[in-house]
Amino acid sequence: MILTALAAAVCVVYLQGRFDTADMKNCVAIAQTYRAPSGRTLPDVLASRHPGATIDWAGTETSSCFQHVRVEARVTPKDAPPLLYDFDVDLNGPSIHPGNPLGVEALGALDTPDGHDR
């Protein structure tokens, strides 16, 4: 019985890890592909704000139960320190909320033609 319980616990931990990994991947995809009514996406905004910069996307789970993930866009301009744009993504919504002041600016810029704040 002890081995069966141990095997079941290992399976549960493994499966939960797989679900969490899938949630993070899906939330990053939501942040990258969300298209505002203006037709702009977050990658469009970041590219227009930082031409030629490298953009790396990553997700960190903030709540497994509620399927909330912090999505980070690390923008590295040439010859400058990286900038972190954070977004909180609710997979159940799905919805995107700003996670830091740069995230507020980026989400606000989705509705402007050039991707910059008004």
Residue 2 lies in a domain: no
Q: Alpha-carbon distance 18 to 29, whole Å?
A: 17
**Residue 96 falls inside a structural domain:** yes
Burial of 13 (0-12, 13-18, 19+ CB in 10 A): exposed
Q: Is residue 102 part of a domain?
A: yes
**H helices within 40-114, ranges in order?**
42-49, 101-108
pLDDT tens track for 54-113: 999 999 888 877 888 999 999 999 888 999 999 999 988 889 999 999 999 999 999 886
Which two structure tokens, joined as six digits, stand for 98? 């700003």
In a domain, 9, yes or no: no
Residue 23: count other Cβ atoms within 10 Å of its Cβ: 19
State CA 98 to chain mean position distance.
10
Q: How many domains does the chain have?
A: 1
Q: Give the model's pLDDT for residue 118.
A: 44
Dig out the tokens for 70 from the structure. 């912090």
**What pTM, to 2 d.p., does this model score?**
0.81
Residue 12 lies in a domain: no
Question: What domain range includes position 42?
Answer: 22-111
Residue 3 lies in a domain: no
